[in-house]
Amino acid sequence: MQELAKTYNPKDFEQRIYQSWEQDGDFHQEAATDKPPFTIVMPPPNITGQLHMGHALDQTLQDVLTRWRRMQGYAALWVPGTDHASIATEVRVADELFEKEGKTKEDVGREAFLDRVWLWREIYGGRITEQQRRLGDSCDWERERFTMDEGCNKAVVEFFVRLYRKGLIYRGYRMINWCPQCGTSLSDAEVEHEDVQGQYWYIRYPGADGGEGVVVATSRPETMFGDTAVAVHPDDARYKDLIGKTVVLPLVGREIPVVADPYPDPEKGTGAVKITPAHDPNDFEVGQRHSLPQVVCIDFEAKMTAEAGQYEGMDRYECRKAWVAALADAGFVVKTEDVVIPTGMCYRCATAVEPMLSNQWFVKMKPLAEPAIAALKSGELKFVPERFGKTYLRWMEEIRDWCISRQLWWGHRIPAWYCDSCGKVIVAQKRPLACSTCGATGDALRQDEDVLDTWFSSALWPFSTLGWPEDTEDLRKFYPTSVLVTGYDIIFFWVARMVFSGIFCMGKSPFSHVFIHGLVRGADGQKMSKSLGNGVDPLEIIGKYGADALRFMLLHGSAAGNDMRWSEESVISARNFANKLWNAARFVIMNLDGRTQFAPTDGGQAQFAPTDGGQAQFAPTDEDRWILATTARVAGEVTEALEKFELSVAIEKVYDLIRDEYCDWYIELVKSRLYGGDETSKRTAQAVLVSVLSDLLRLLHPFMPFITEEIWGYLGKDGKLIRDRWPAGRPDAPWGPLSDAAADADDAGAVARIEALKDVVRAVRNIRAEAGTEQGKKVPVVLMADAPPALAEHHIKALAGVSEVTVIADEKDVPKDAASAILKGMVVYVPLAELVDNEAEREKLLKERERLEKYAGQLEAKLANEGFTSKAPAQVVEAERAKLNSAREALEKTIERLEVLMA
């Protein structure tokens, strides 16, 4: 029988094991099976990306759930894939083209540029999937998808056409979010709002009749060139006489009306609002109600148009400075006010978004949102934690029509053609041969130049990856999926859109649960980013400590919906845990005498208590029954935690079971049997060691798959751990089945006795530690109990450094001058005289008293110095006071111990 390597080194086996899993098809799942389905679709990372800590957390959570359900006997399918990332990828390739060749995408043309993007994707697009393998992702790579592959493109076109034919997609001249840097429109969800320090300028618009007119407050004076009205609330008494009159746009000289509208808030600013229908969504709505003209004064490059007169061609912010100065010089600026202004930023490049009027394609959202809202309210869709359901609901109830067209080349091109001959718009799955209205063909039919929002294709991911719009076996088996694992930051971007898309196309929510996790923040609590210098490369951590240690740290530190802080110290602790498990497994394997199977030697049913008085092949002791029962109990608790998506709770329970109960207690309890001459006792201990270790590896496998699979290979098992069963009930007892009633009764007594034994050992160890007893010194112990438990004295002696154990029932027999510990149902006493060498201890305590008196005196003098207490920072003074209090407490305890010794 082979032995494990002496030292735990994940580099020796992680890559080998992963290749074995993948080559043997251990991740693959066919639809043709009677097993119940469990399905996860991976949130597709961008092909431009590299694995970061957010990916590592997100995918580790998914992998745990997939591996667990696979071991439970489910047809577990985890579908991987990548996203074409329309804006990010186009910008990346365009920048590379300019850097290497000095050309723009327009210089090379659409087709040639797209060829370059596909080539870039072929070279770099698989980088992140290789990194995912390093992490241990057990997804079905045979089913890997790409949001622009042929099947996904077919699904996107079909979805667009179906929505259009039901009147849910339309093209309109509407207010959109425009990113001047990326050069494309953005949906509302792609705009991130930041609080920016800015100003309100209070500017007077004189009355056209020579009157005072009105003062308005604006944070964007450069848009005044597009003003076509001033609005006031109809109930605002201050402006009743102005309604219906006109005021003059300062310096411009154009007259604009004063209109009554419910939009202005009389309590905000002056109560009068400048209306710029072409550059503000609220103003656009006011303009629609009052049939106001739409004057565009800022173009798609965020530069001023001819409407700005002498400022034409200036950047919007440069214009702002110059225009405000001119207004102030002319006496139109009444005052300024510093304020914090919520500003919409592009989620990609952080450029301030410009509201613009443009012809774009939109999805009509209200009819789609209603069934998606109903899915949550009916319980068909659940969020974990529940509070994120309210976030989803609020967004759905307040949703506006979704702008889905993007002024880019890389992406799913909009399946709409325009007839230049008659103006007909044709939406179809394929290019039409001729216009259905006038019969025009060829170049007269021109396809829309824009592509669809990346999220339009991502919204179909749970069913497009399974073959939709075809009625496939995969779709019937694996849809709806079981759970979506994702961060709270893309509930709007992705989750909500998948829900209404899934219900529209499939009639059901695409998943029953949405498991929300938080962000992995830097050690400083800030969001990880290159600019802050607090980012951590997961691959670097895997190289140093192994994938299992990284996975453990991420799982142990995360709680559903909450952010977590990165801690390399926690990764080191996780690696130390892996090392402890490795050493324990190595010890067990080395002490099996070459055995891994413990079936009865006569081929019959193994008996642990033969009735014929013969030699028992197995003789389980209390510690055997205790560890088997404890493992069964914890296995049930781990399963329950996983069912509730409490993965951090689950891994904590497995950790405690392995580190504390198995390594620190059970192995120590059975060592004497392994080294003793009783073959039956030894054989039983060996059998239980292997049986429990097997279940521990099963329990830990979803969390730390590499080390568990490697150790499993040394236990003589048939098949790999990844395809083995999940623990349910008691570990396999080598002495054969018992009735549940008998097992429960026997286990309960054994568990009680071993837990009592552990309490005694811990109590004695604590007493020894507090007294400073030398490690090798043996001490006597007295146990007082009315009904003393049947404890194994030899274990107490071996594990607590005890020379003899005396059990008493009467308090009069308690030894004098003894340290004690009160436990459940008993008291533990250790005579002080036996704990330490009194003379040596007295000398040590005298020196300690002298040191503490001197230290406390120094601190008292320092704090009595007014020069220190008046000049030092308050927190420094408080820290010194805390030190003095600690010194006084330590001195008091030292004096008390001296008094006891000298009594």
Task: Please provide the average confidence, as pLDDT, over all residues in the chain.
Answer: 90
pLDDT given for residue 716 in this prediction: 87
CB 348 within 8 A of CB 178: no
pLDDT given for residue 38 in this prediction: 98
Q: Could you tell me the strand order of the sheet in which 416-419 lies?
A: 425-427, 416-419, 445-447
Residue 893 in this model has a pLDDT that exceeds 90: no
Please provide the DSSP assignment of 719-773 as one string. Answer: S-GGGSPPP-SSPPPTT----HHHHHHHHHHHHHHHHHHHHHHHHHHHHHHHHT-
Alpha helices in 591-646 (DSSP H): 622-643
Q: How confident is the model at residue 731 (pLDDT cuts 50, 70, 90)?
A: low
First to last CA, the chain: 61
pLDDT given for residue 744 in this prediction: 59
Q: Calculate mean pLDDT across residues 105-110.
A: 94
Q: Calculate mean pLDDT across residues 116-133.
A: 89
Please name the residues in contact with 240: beta carbons below 8 A apart, sequence gap of 6 or more: none
Residue closest to 804 by CA, chosen among 766, 842, 778: 778
Degrees to nearest 5, angle at CA 149 with 143 and 154: 110
Task: Report the SS3 class of residue 480.
Answer: coil
Which token pair is 14?
Answer: 């992680």
- The length of the chain is 903
CB 86 within 8 A of CB 410: yes
pLDDT given for residue 743 in this prediction: 54
Which token pair is 24?
Answer: 């043997």
CB 686 within 8 A of CB 698: no
Which token pair is 545?
Answer: 């400590």
Could you tell me the CA-to-CA distances from 427 to 162, 398, 419 in Å, in that order? 10, 29, 11
pLDDT by residue (tens digit) across 532-579? 667 788 999 999 999 999 999 999 988 887 888 888 999 999 999 999
pLDDT by residue (tens digit) across 491-543? 877 899 999 999 999 999 999 999 999 888 888 788 776 556 677 889 999 99
CB 647 within 8 A of CB 700: no
pLDDT given for residue 619 in this prediction: 87
Which token pair is 572?
Answer: 């080191």
More reliable by pLDDT, 617 or 400: 400
Ramachandran category for residue 593: left, alpha or beta (phi over 0 → left; psi -120 to 50 → alpha): left
What is the C-alpha separation between 676 and 278, in angstroms, rounded?
Answer: 90
What is the C-alpha separation between 427 and 415, in angstroms, rounded?
Answer: 6
What pTM, to 2 d.p., does this model score?
0.82
| Residue position matching structure tokens 């869709």 | 381
What is the C-alpha separation between 393 and 377, in angstroms, rounded?
Answer: 9
Q: Calculate mean pLDDT across residues 63-90.
A: 95
What is the C-alpha separation between 411 and 86, in angstroms, rounded?
Answer: 5
Q: How confident is the model at residue 816 (pLDDT cuts 50, 70, 90)?
A: confident
CB 401 within 8 A of CB 453: no
Q: In 745-776, which positions are buried (b, 16+ CB within 10 angstroms) versus exposed (e)?
A: ebbeebbbbbebbbbbbebbeebbeebebeee
Q: Name the E strands within 441-596.
A: 445-447, 451-452, 481-487, 511-517, 520-521, 564-565
Residue closest to 830 by CA, chosen among 752, 903, 902, 760: 760
More reliable by pLDDT, 535 or 336: 336
What is the C-alpha separation between 356 and 632, in angstroms, rounded?
Answer: 64
Q: Could you tell me the strand order of the sheet in which 214-218 lies?
A: 214-218, 191-205, 333-346
CB 800 within 8 A of CB 760: yes
pLDDT by residue (tens digit) across 659-704? 999 999 999 999 999 998 899 999 999 999 999 999 999 999 999 9
CB 701 within 8 A of CB 67: yes
What is the C-alpha separation between 631 and 388, in angstroms, rounded?
Answer: 35
Q: What percent of the chain has pLDDT over 70?
A: 93
Q: Could you tell me the strand order of the sheet in which 481-487 lies?
A: 382-384, 511-517, 481-487
pLDDT by residue (tens digit) across 387-441? 999 999 998 998 989 999 999 999 999 999 999 999 999 999 999 999 999 999 9
Q: What percent of the chain has pLDDT over 90?
A: 67
pLDDT given for residue 874 in this prediction: 84
CB 231 within 8 A of CB 273: yes
Please name the residues in contact with 507: beta carbons below 8 A apart, sequence gap of 6 or more: none
pLDDT by residue (tens digit) across 234-243? 999 999 999 9
pLDDT by residue (tens digit) across 271-325? 999 999 999 999 999 999 999 999 999 999 999 999 999 999 999 999 999 999 9
| Residue position matching structure tokens 């991420």 | 554
**Alpha-carbon Rg for the chain in angstroms:** 37
624 secondary structure, DSSP code? H
Q: How confident is the model at residue 742 (pLDDT cuts 50, 70, 90)?
A: very low
pLDDT given for residue 597 in this prediction: 65
- The Cβ-side half-sphere exposure at 741, using a 13 Å CA radius, reads 0
pLDDT given for residue 322 in this prediction: 97
pLDDT given for residue 231 in this prediction: 97
Residue closest to 501 by CA, chosen among 168, 83, 41, 167: 168
